[in-house]
Structure 1
Amino acid sequence: EGFRFGAIDAAVIYMLPQILKDYMGDFPQIELFAQVAPSRYLVEDLLMNRSEFAIISLPLAHPKIETLSLVTDEMPLVVGADHALAQRARVRPEELAAEAMILFHEDSVSRKIVDERLAETGVSPRVVMEMRSPEAMRKLVEAGVGVSFLPRMTVAESLELGLLSDVEVAGVRFSREIGVAWRRGRYFGPAIRHLLDAIFRRYDRFDEWVDDRSGVPV
């Protein structure tokens, strides 16, 4: 017995390890397979019934998909420790136009958020690299190749170690939601429900996950 689910890389690295360890210890007979990919591909898997659920970047609006947010992850502007902006607490949006930007690939939810917030300020970023891996982006920013907007869960350790600095962009907030997505109306067997219950409990969303009328997970 087993099942397949999907998750963006940040969820696998920073959100799920202890949950999965506990689950596999409690249910050693269940075989798990996790597909790690960008959100758009995970949604395709849901629509094609290749995955039971997925942990993705939100928002997502699709008539066949239901979602429930787990966390809000800030996406600060981060620069290398030796970058000129590293000593600044705040920059004006227009100052970013001259910076070499390392951004998520243009088809990602996180990139859309960054593009929309910058567009609101009238800034057109000078993009020098587009990538899908936040870990690779973090390493490049640490090396001084460019600056980026990266999820705080991805850069927290580097900030603590002084390898990166985060700089506020005046008047603009960059953040994304990470949550669970599943195909609308899908029935979950006990093995899948146990894992979903554990995820929602860990992030204090179990009450929202439980149907108010029946008292059982939807």
Structure 2
Amino acid sequence: MVKEKAIDFGYILDSPCTVSGIESLHVEKQSMVIVIPLNHPFTECETIHLNKLENETLILTEKGCTYRAFLLDKLNKNNIPHNISMELSSVETIKKAVENNWGIGFLPAFTIGKSDNVVAIRYADDELNFYSQLIYKKEKTEQKVFNSFMSLFN
């Protein structure tokens, strides 16, 4: 939508944006976590590597989500069998499903709060490269209001 000029800015969670004509400001590198119920065997782990997800029942976001695509691509490239039991559009619904022992989730760490009744274990992967990014068209940088807005992120 930014590229088509339908909106001036976008705020995304993705690998670094490399779309022609679009600039991006990396706001913060994001870590991902495996979200598990309180009684799951992984609760003793400090980190979880891809191979630990073998045959786990996954509760994921819907198709089109960048971090879902990242995880499934890694599982498939490494021939790791897995089962997707649910595809949900809401992070809160995913956390509730995990809390109810219906599977495990894969979410950005910032989505898990202290009051959630789930455990978040850091997902360890050297190829994981997700950032919160503000994306915009380069020609917008000439506008005073744009520069004022951008200064909020610097």
Band of TM-score, shorter chain? 0.7 to 0.9
Match of 1:166 among 112, 120, 128: 120
Greater percentage in helix: 1
Question: What runs of 5+ residues in structure 2 fail to find an aligned partner?
Answer: none
Q: Is the 8 A contact 1:101 1:146 kept in 2?
A: yes
Aligned to 1:102: 59
Percent of aligned pairs with the same residue? 18
Question: What runs of 5+ residues in structure 1 fail to find an aligned partner?
Answer: 1-44, 202-218
Q: Relative to structure 1, is the Cα distance of residues 109 and 50 closer, same or farther in structure 2, using a 3 angstrom cutoff?
A: same
Q: Give the TM-score taking structure 1 as reference length.
A: 0.60
Aligned to 1:205: none
Q: Is the 8 A contact 2:31 2:122 kept in 1?
A: no
Runs of 4+ in 1 over 6 A off after TM superposition: none
Aligned to 1:181: 135
Match of 1:133 among 87, 90, 97: 90
> Which secondary structure does the structure 2 equivalent of 1:185 belong to?
helix
Q: CA RMSD in A?
A: 2.5
> Which secondary structure does the structure 1 equivalent of 2:2 belong to?
helix
Residues 91-128 of structure 1: CA distance to partner in whole angstroms, max 9, x if unpaired? 56444232210112231211122123334543143111
Residues 151-182 of structure 1: CA distance to partner in whole angstroms, max 9, x if unpaired? 11001x1xx3472223356x635552111111
Count of residues in correspondence between the two structures: 152
Match of 2:146 among 165, 176, 192: 192
| Mapped pair 1:54 → 2:10 | yes
Q: Relative to structure 1, is the Cα distance of residues 86 and 145 closer, same or farther in structure 2, using a 3 angstrom cutoff?
A: same
Q: RCO greater where, 1 or 2, for CA within 8 Å and sep 6 or more?
A: 2
Q: Give the TM-score taking structure 2 as reference length.
A: 0.81
| Mapped pair 1:149 → 2:103 | no
